[in-house]
Chain A
Amino acid sequence: MTGDANAEQDKARRFRDAALPYLDDVYALARYLMRGSADAEDAVQECYLRALRHFDSYRGPAMKPWLLAILRNVCNADFARRGKQEIAADYSEGEPAAEQVPMWQEPQPSPETALLREQDGATIRRLIAELPPPYREAIVLREVNDLSYQQIAEVAGVPVGTVMSRLARARSILRSAWNVAEQSAPRMTPGSAP
């Protein structure tokens, strides 16, 4: 009995050590897949609970793609359950800006550059959010989660060739939208920030 309890304790500790370092990655993907931050947080929690249940059968190779694949299933199951059509919504709509914590850190950007870059970041996030789901998923796994092609293929359950073509398509759509956005987006000036 003590042995069982110890084994459970040991498993819990191993799982926490292995999985919790990827919380930011899991949350980031959830934000891009789920749109709303509340839904994303629910999905992350469900992902970790599900991952713990399956931790006994986890044989690697890498924890991050394994967790992201579980998260993806959680999100898909959620869409299926609600029968919800994905709608390309304005990404930052109704969300306080403080919640979108940009993690980029560069040495001492001048205030003006910082404003422009933040605006650019918001624009890019919106453009990504507007991509059709398969392309959005591929580009986020690549550019945000920093997965290799092989890992993206495992997470998305598609061949590597499909990953390559989805990334190419995603970037091609982004590039066109990007140019349009740059021409039409109003430049942010100090004081106009929300």
Chain B
Amino acid sequence: MNCADCELLLHPLIDGELDAVHARDVEAHAATCAGCAEKLKTLRAMREAMAGAGLKFAAPASLRSRVEAALPQPSADIIAPRKFSQPSRRTFFGGFAAGAALSGAIAATLAVGVFRSDQNQQVADEVVSAHIRSLQAGHLMDVETSDQHTVKPWFDGRVDVAPPVIDLTAQGFTLLGGRLDYIDGEPVASVVYQRRKHVINLFVAQRLGIAHAGAIAETIQGYNVRHWTEQGLDFWAVSDLAGDELDEFVQKISAAVHPPGPS
């Protein structure tokens, strides 16, 4: 086992998610590698400190009675079977790792499996992360202007698509500017809009996730996400704006990208 494999498996090890074979491999490696041993020690110390730090909260009695009062009261004469037991913890790796000796192989399968089966989820996560990053000071715009004729050419040569940059000020969405982002390892154009205090990042790329007809709506970490494919481009809109307002934004962009009827 090398250090990269080991480091990947340190967290499942201290979390009790590793089967015995892999746990032994990791510990055997740590016994001969000072760096990994140190990391393991630090992680264990942290877990221990957190376990003893009183991080849990007990629900106040007032809340308990409030919730109980809000639920319908069962009458005393009906006896229902108690069929729900405490959930049992099971190891994630235990299931398919039995007998496998190379954790590197596990790590590789894991990464590929996640990427393939859930590519859109992965992109959605990254899109939201990019949105959150963009909200940090100084990260929002590379080119800051409400003039669409400045924003659009700015993307030339920076990304391999010409993202539609549409001025929706009249419809209540102010164009703030544009930014270059990296999602899924590819450069992606982000056109930044604003409604009231809410920032909307519209990510546009040639291929970003799995194409599908119609917009897909999702909420991730409190942010509303919309993904749709149009004119050979993938669009991802992310904002903390309310869902219906983000839908309105999507409609406006979509209508502008794809004007209805012959013109």
B-binding residues in A (CB < 8 A): 6, 8-10, 12-18, 20, 23-24, 26-28, 31, 41, 44-45, 48-49, 52, 61-65, 73, 75-77, 79-81, 83-86, 99-104, 106, 117-118, 120-121, 124-125, 128, 132-134, 137, 140, 142-144, 148-151, 157-162, 164, 167-168, 171, 174-175, 178
Bound-state Cα–Cα, A177 to B49, Å? 14
Among B139-147, B184-192, B240-248, B251-259, the stretch in contact with A: B240-248
Residues of B within 8 A of A (CB): 8, 11-12, 15, 17, 42-43, 46-47, 49-60, 63-64, 66-68, 70-75, 78, 80, 82-84, 87, 89-92, 110-111, 113-114, 117-118, 121-122, 125, 128-129, 132, 135, 196-198, 219-224, 240-243
Expressed in whole angstroms, the minimum distance between the Cβ of A11 and any Cβ of chain B is 8
Interface pair B55/A80, CB less than 8 Å apart: no
Q: Determine whether the beta carbon of B240 is less than 8 Å from that of A144.
A: no
9 contacts between A and B (CB under 8 A): A9-B78, A24-B59, A101-B57, A102-B54, A103-B54, A120-B53, A124-B55, A161-B110, A168-B11
Complex Cα distance, B50 from A124, in Å, reads 7
Q: Which residues of A contact B64 (CB under 8 A)?
A: 23
Say yes or no: A162 contacts B122, CB within 8 Å. yes
> Which partner residue on chain B sits nearest A81 by CB separation?
B242
Whether the Cβ atoms of A83 and B240 lie closer than 8 Å is yes
Given the interface contacts A28-B57, A168-B11, does A76 sit within 8 Å of B222 by beta carbon?
yes
The answer to whether B87 and A65 have CB atoms under 8 Å apart is: yes
What 4 new A-B contacts, CB under 8 Å, besides A14-B83, A28-B56, A150-B92?
A9-B74, A48-B71, A52-B72, A160-B114
Q: What is the minimal beta-carbon distance from B82 to any residue of chain A, in angstroms?
A: 5
Sorted from nearest, which 9 A-B pairs have the closest CB atoms? Answer: A102-B54, A62-B87, A13-B74, A161-B114, A27-B59, A121-B53, A79-B222, A76-B222, A12-B72
Could you say which of B8, B51, B87 has the most chain A C-beta atoms within 10 Å of its C-beta?
A: B87
Contact A159 B122 (CB under 8 A): yes
With a cutoff of 8 Å between Cβ atoms, the chain A residues found around residue B110 in the complex are 160-161
Residues on A with C-beta less than 8 A from B60 are 27, 41, 99
B56 — nearest CB in chain A belongs to which residue? A103
Chain A residue numbers with a CB within 8 Å of B57 are: 24, 27-28, 31, 100-101, 103
Do B240 and A44 have beta carbons less than 8 Å apart? no
Give, as a whole number of angstroms, the nearest-CB distance from B98 to chain A: 17
CA distance A104 to B64 in the complex (A): 20
Please measure, in the bound complex, the distance between the C-alpha atom of A137 and the C-alpha atom of B110, giving whole angstroms: 22
A174:B71 contact, CB within 8 angstroms: no
- Measured CB to CB, the nearest residue on chain A to B59 is A27
Contact B67 A45 (CB under 8 A): yes
Find A83's partner among B56, B196, B220 (CB 8 Å cutoff).
B196
Measured CA separation A46–B75 after assembly (Å) = 23
Cβ-closest chain B residue relative to A28? B57
- B219 and A76 contact, CB distance less than 8 A: yes
Bound-complex Cα distance A77 to B57 (A)? 23
Nearest-neighbour CB distance to chain B for A63, whole angstroms, equals 6
The answer to whether residues A79 and B68 also contact, given A65-B87, A101-B58, A102-B56 and a CB cut-off of 8 A, is no
Determine whether the beta carbon of B219 is less than 8 Å from that of A80.
Answer: yes
Pairwise interchain contact B54-A80, C-beta atoms closer than 8 A: no
* Complex CA–CA separation, A124 to B172 (angstroms): 43
CB atoms of B11 and A143 under 8 A apart? no
Report the minimum CB–CB distance from B84 to chain A (whole Å): 4
Q: Is the CB of A117 within 8 A of B80?
A: no
Task: Give the residues in chain B near A117, CB-CB below 8 Å.
Answer: 52-54
